[in-house]
Amino acid sequence: MIQKAKKFLKGLASPGKLKMLCFMLLGATAAMAQNTAGDYSAGTTALSTVADEIAKYVPVAVKLCYAIAGVVAIVGAISVYIAMNNEEQDVKKKIMMVVGACIFLIAAAQALPLFFGIS
């Protein structure tokens, strides 16, 4: 019984049968992908719906960027304070990193609506 199963699986994995299976799958996929009527209204409707839904999330994402910038500023200020009290060497580097991160997040929050064409 086991040898029959092994023989069946070995015959199933032959290169010719695998090629035929691939061609059948690709042909079926191409046949399903064809638009017979040339009507693309469903696709354009879906894209416009997606664009409208993304536009609804942009104000939330802007507020989220501002909130993250605030958290980064607070945590960064605490980190810089601790570094200054411990008299570490890289305090200036830490300050520049925190300020740079905050500026980036605020600039990203300002540019996000412009990227999606929302005023």
Quick check: is 10 in a domain?
Answer: no
pLDDT in tens, 1-55: 677 766 766 666 677 777 776 677 677 665 555 555 567 777 888 888 988 888 8
Q: Comparing 52 with 74, which gets the higher pLDDT?
A: 74
Q: Is the pTM of this model over 0.85?
A: no
Quick check: is 16 in a domain?
Answer: no
Quick check: is 78 in a domain?
Answer: yes
87 SS3 class: coil
- Please give the residue range of the domain that contains residue 116: 51-119
Asked if 110 and 117 touch (Cβ cutoff 8 Å), the reply is no
| Number of domains the chain contains | 1
Rounded Cα distance, 40 and 9, in Å: 44
Quick check: is 40 in a domain?
Answer: no
Quick check: is 101 in a domain?
Answer: yes
pLDDT in tens, 59-69: 999 999 999 99
Quick check: is 62 in a domain?
Answer: yes
Quick check: is 103 in a domain?
Answer: yes
